[in-house]
Structure 1
Amino acid sequence: MSEVSSDRLTPMLKQYLELKARYPDALVLFQLGDFYELFFQDAEEAAQALGIALTSRSRAEEERIPMAGFPVHSAEGYIARLLDRGFKVVVCEQVEDPAQAKGLVRREVTRILTRGTQVDPAALPARADHYLAAVALKGEHWGLSYLSLSTGEFRLTEGSGSDHLGDELWRLKPAEILIPEETGNGVLNKALSLFPDPPITRALPAFAFDHTSARRELTRVLGTLFLDGYGLGENRLGVAAAGAILQYLRESHAANLPHLDHLLPYSRDDFLGLDEATLRHLEIFETWRSGSRQGSLFEVLDATLTPMGARLLARWLRQPLIHRPDIEARLDAVQFFVEQELLRQRWRQALKGLGDLERLTARLAMEQASPREVAAVRQALGRLPLLRELLPMASPALVAQAALELEDLADLHELISRALTEDPPPTLQAGGVIREGYDPELDELLQISREGKTWIARLEEKERRRTGIASLKVRYNKVFGYYLEVSRPNLHLVPPDYHRKQTLVNAERFVTAELKDYEAKVLGAEDARLKREVELFQELRRRLGGEAPRLKRVAQALARLDVWASLAEVAVQHRYCRPEIVETPILELKG
């Protein structure tokens, strides 16, 4: 960024530069009306990364300020592309109505986004997990924690040596890794050498990995006074890494995370260890030669019907069970769906199109869900009574447990159905989100607006008869509001109570006192209606976000049932039989 003389800057640019000084390592998206704008070097980098036009803004004499931008309504797609390129993005929004602002419009930073904190479903692979990881180091020892912010999965582990750390990171394929500044530790560098294209790493100050601070932050987010019940034991480095993730999220304006209700430790000894070479050579997720999913074991076994089911199947393949009782219990669940063919078919039919309730829950919890995403939650909850009814009382232990967790959530479905219109618009600003009859104040504003628009429509016919101008039109734009337009040949018929507003080449525009009075009533009601709709929708979203633990529990139960039914479907299609597990080291295959 070039040196800028403050006396040559507009107040708006001074405001931008003050914000930019707080985030020198990020691209700052600065809202100007319906657009997000970037300036100076940020504009040049964004224009090149996004392939958008780089323009300029005049500052003084012949000095020009580089400038680039994109519409607010389509911002998520542009932001996702910037995050994929490794940029950190700071979103600075207008937090007051420009029409009511006294002087400069007030703006605040509302979101700080990086690749690992992305939760927009449109920007994430639906059937794959998306992790933010952190690594705390002490000599050869390390603690690893990872979080899927889009689902709430939060885990930690510990180990020593670069090989084991590399295997864990390869298994997770995190989108972003947080590390302490100036670690000077070859363990992490060697672990990342496995990746042909290493994940983005972001260095945090050493105090972000402080164990005491981490425990305090974890108790706050998890809503508990003590962490002993989570089985964290002596996982000091793992806890430090988990705390660094939460500290990072707090600084990214994501401090309230009601969908994070568990932190689960695990050990390599809990599962069959699959290192990087094994995952590659067995072609678990991609083929050796082409790197394609097609032809992999995952592609053969994946007949899941929900994104959350597909992600769970992938996690099970990455961490195969090793304890016989757990394996037998899972096989019992699959066999149940194999034997119950009609139930399996009806269950899978009911799951089709249910959507990604797991990630939608996270969007609600973080107060980012759009009206259509809330409608998608309503649609998913509407399937629960049928899905519950299909599962019989007598079933294997795992299926019975999942059925118990499959709460029908009728209260939440009823709340959304009362509040939300049948087909809400994609954005809140479009209006028409809240159903009539839900809120008396909103209903009154809708009636005022509707009657006012009807009156204005009748005015056109009335004025045509009064003036004798058959081509007279009542029109509206954002600059002048409502006006009467008269073509030039009819100007001699304009009555004296018409006040000229604008002259065009072929016509002139007028207003009357009566028209302006009604305009104030109509537009005032429109503004108040939209404001009230925003308030009601945000209240609805907060209430649903507060129910995130219930929604998450149901989503996870659906995912497990989806995977068992999927594996049963694959087994029937390919005529697979149930393996018999014995204690002796024998592998016997029968054709």
Structure 2
Amino acid sequence: MARKETPLMQQYNRVKTDYPDALLLFRVGDFYETFGEDAIKAAEVLDIVLTKRGNGSASEIELAGFPHHALDNYLPKLVRSGHRVAVCDQLEDPKKAVGIVKRGVTELVTPGLAFHDQVLNARTDNYLAAVHWKKDAYGLALLDISTGDFATAQGPKTLIDRLIRAHQPTEVLCLKNDASEFEEVFGSDWHVSRMDDWIFKPHYAEERLRKQFENASLKGFQLDERPMALIAAGAILHYLEHAKHEKPQHVRTIRTLREDGVLWMDRFTIRNLELIQSNHADGTSLAQTIDRTGSPMGARVLRRWLIMPLTEVAAIERRLDAVELLNRSEEMRSDFQSLFRTTGDLERLASKASTGRINPRELSQLRTGLQCVIKIAELAAGEEALIPYLERLSPCDSLLERLQKELVEEPPMNPAKGQVIADGVSAELDELRSLKSNAQAALDAICAREIEQTGITS
């Protein structure tokens, strides 16, 4: 007998059709529910109870759920287990809804697309990759949405394999029909997401890039002569929009990865040298052994330097000059270390801010980080060996000024749990706060005014 669908399940199935390969978290009242195969997977990963909706009826289906306020606890577990998770929220107040509540996917979280601190490893990059090829020409695009770093390359499969190994993407996009060949060429130790072939078309890729960068020409990105890299970059931007990350403003340019200047090591060298990961369960990698960095940004840079060592003598000497300066001056080195520990993860905080995913407490951390940037620049002033690194610093004066003036000293994580905007920023807000905290005095003032105007004393 055919399964009878309730209006709620009809709505669920319509949403699920758009995200067939994702585990769908469907908001129902105060809970996120999963149904059918998704419920079975969620119950296993999250260790929650698996039950049934409409038990014994024609509409019977597996069900597993958790309270909506526990999303930040359960979502990372699903993503870390390799699942793509579509979060479907209620888009209107249920009390005001006419008929069934309007719902829609507000975010698709995948291993390669995440802003959540519980999903990300603070000390490593989190790249999403896309690979496309035709005959012997291979194109690669890499994006870390948490920092905005976007890069492309085109070349033989040996180069692309080395680049993939160097950047260790947590998710790789490729054509559905090419997935088996991808595993044959690049190995099976990657989380591969398969995409439709119409996405990997040159004209569509050009359209995606022009929309993102608001640029009529792609020559500045050196993609006009690298069609495979262009298509791979377009696939990533399509995936972003599908995941509700439409036109992220912090993704502002595309780097070109080249063979010159850096040594791109193959998979066997990286594995045998145990640069980033040990070959033994209780072993220690080189990165873990020497990492004494004071900030997450420093840890990520150190791992890039280890896995992509310089080959140009001039660049090596510039780096060694900076190392020699800091090694020679213990006081300067100690001051830098103290500032780096206080700076925090400016890269990822700035990305959260530009996408509207930052909370008030993180804005306070951003303010502290920007204050440290100014102190770092002042400390390094006049040191020729540090000039190449100082050139990359931006004080963001106007942003810092607003944060210092408009944000309270210690804001809460949740804006509903305390004061966020400082006094004096908005006269209207100050008046509303005064009414809230001095309600009786306000009522007494109104009463006195009315008595004076009407002469009625009671």
TM-score relative to the length of structure 2 = 0.88
Deviation string, structure 1 residues 289-348 (Cα, Å, up to 9, x no partner) = 4473x3x33234322111111111111221111111111111122222222321111111
Deviation string, structure 1 residues 450-506 (Cα, Å, up to 9, x no partner) = 3448999xxxxxxxxxxxxxxxxxxxxxxxxxxxxxxxxxxxxxxxxxxxxxxxxxx
Unpaired segments of 5 or more residues in structure 2?
Answer: 444-458
Deviation string, structure 1 residues 501-545 (Cα, Å, up to 9, x no partner) = xxxxxxxxxxxxxxxxxxxxxxxxxxxxxxxxxxxxxxxxxxxxx
The 8 Å contact of residues 167 and 276 in structure 1, kept in 2 or not, is answered as yes
Cα–Cα, structure 1 residues 269 and 414, in superposed 2: closer, same or farther, change >3 Å? Answer: closer
* SS of residue paired to 1:80: helix
Q: How far apart are the structure 2 equivalents of 1:455 and 1:34? A: 36
Q: How does 1:47-446 map to 2 (within 5 A)?
A: 47-58=43-54, 64-161=60-157, 163-183=158-178, 186=181, 188-193=182-187, 198-232=189-223, 234-290=225-281, 292=283, 294=284, 296-396=285-385, 399-430=386-417, 432-446=419-433
Q: How far apart are the structure 2 equivalents of 1:417 and 1:89? A: 37
Q: How far apart are the structure 2 equivalents of 1:265 and 1:177? A: 19
The structure whose RCO (Cα within 8 Å, separation 6+) is larger is: 1
Q: How far apart are the structure 2 equivalents of 1:207 and 1:62? A: 39
2:22 is equivalent to residue 23 of structure 1: no
Identity %: 33
The 8 Å contact of residues 250 and 354 in structure 2, kept in 1 or not, is answered as yes
Q: CA deviation at 1:357?
A: 0.7
Q: Which amino acid in 2 is paired with 1:277?
A: F
The 8 Å contact of residues 166 and 190 in structure 1, kept in 2 or not, is answered as no
Q: CA deviation at 1:173?
A: 1.8
The 8 Å contact of residues 80 and 119 in structure 2, kept in 1 or not, is answered as no
Once structures 1 and 2 are overlaid, which stretch shifts more, 241-250 or 205-214? 205-214
Q: CA deviation at 1:59?
A: 7.0
Partner in structure 2 of residue 4 of structure 1: 3
Q: CA deviation at 1:275?
A: 1.2
Q: Which amino acid in 2 is paired with 1:82?
A: L
Deviation string, structure 1 residues 195-232 (Cα, Å, up to 9, x no partner) = 5xx11111111221212221222232123332212233
The 8 Å contact of residues 140 and 232 in structure 2, kept in 1 or not, is answered as yes
Once structures 1 and 2 are overlaid, which stretch shifts more, 229-238 or 96-105? 96-105
The 8 Å contact of residues 219 and 225 in structure 1, kept in 2 or not, is answered as yes
Partner in structure 2 of residue 555 of structure 1: none
Q: CA deviation at 1:29?
A: 1.4
* SS of residue paired to 1:44: helix
Q: How does 1:427-506 map to 2 (within 5 A)?
A: 427-430=414-417, 432-452=419-439
Once structures 1 and 2 are overlaid, which stretch shifts more, 376-385 or 307-316? 376-385
Cα–Cα, structure 1 residues 192 and 347, in superposed 2: closer, same or farther, change >3 Å? Answer: same
Q: How far apart are the structure 2 equivalents of 1:94 and 1:385? A: 43
Number of equivalences: 443
Cα–Cα, structure 1 residues 104 and 439, in superposed 2: closer, same or farther, change >3 Å? Answer: farther
Q: Which amino acid in 2 is paired with 1:355?
A: G
Supply the RMSD in Å over aligned alpha carbons: 2.6
Deviation string, structure 1 residues 422-441 (Cα, Å, up to 9, x no partner) = 33332344453333433333
Q: CA deviation at 1:271?
A: 1.7
Q: How far apart are the structure 2 equivalents of 1:25 and 1:94? A: 21
Unpaired segments of 5 or more residues in structure 1?
Answer: 457-591
Larger-gyration structure (1/2): 1
The 8 Å contact of residues 142 and 160 in structure 1, kept in 2 or not, is answered as yes
